[in-house]
Amino acid sequence: MNILIVGAGGFLGAIARYAVALWIGQNWGRSFPLGTFFINVSGSLLIGLFMPLVTERFMVNPQWRLFFAVGFLGAYTTFSTFEFETGNLLKDGEVALAALNVILSVAAGFAALKVGNMIAKGI
């Protein structure tokens, strides 16, 4: 059942990501990846709002976390998870690990993108 809950949230999150990026691109252009930027920042805001509410403030069925945080936001943006986990490292006093996570995630992600480009181009 949990797989279906995550899948349903992911289905809706993927559609939301596409719709938001399309709308922003049509209204503000595509010279800067504003759609992706907005999606990443809004996803971070949503997970930052949602997780404390459902884990500390209100008692809700844990399947809502699976649906929204894992499914919807996971498909809407994985950046929100990255931000949440980095925030948890900071909250736990792990400043060096948080900085390492930021630096390595951005650098390794960009390097992986370039390697994937080279493989795709046969270089």
Cα(69)–Cα(67) distance, integer angstroms: 6
**Residue 74's Cα: distance from chain center in Å?**
6
Mean pLDDT of the 45-69 span: 92
Cα(88)–Cα(66) distance, integer angstroms: 18
Judge whether residue 92 has pLDDT over 90. yes
* Model confidence band, residue 121 (pLDDT cutoffs 50, 70, 90): confident
CB 68 within 8 A of CB 13: no
Could you tell me the CA-to-CA distances from 21 to 5, 13, 33 in Å, in that order? 24, 12, 9
Query: Which pLDDT tens digit goes with each residue over 60-90?
Result: 999 999 999 999 999 998 788 888 889 999 9
**Residue 2's Cα: distance from chain center in Å?**
20
How confident is the model at residue 2, as a pLDDT? 97
Structure tokens at 36: 């992706």
Nearest of 58, 38, 56 to residue 46 by alpha carbon: 38
How confident is the model at residue 5, as a pLDDT? 98
Query: Which pLDDT tens digit goes with each residue over 17-35?
Result: 999 999 999 999 888 788 9
Q: One-letter amino acid identity for 44?
A: S
Overall pTM > 0.85: no
Structure tokens at 89: 């490292």
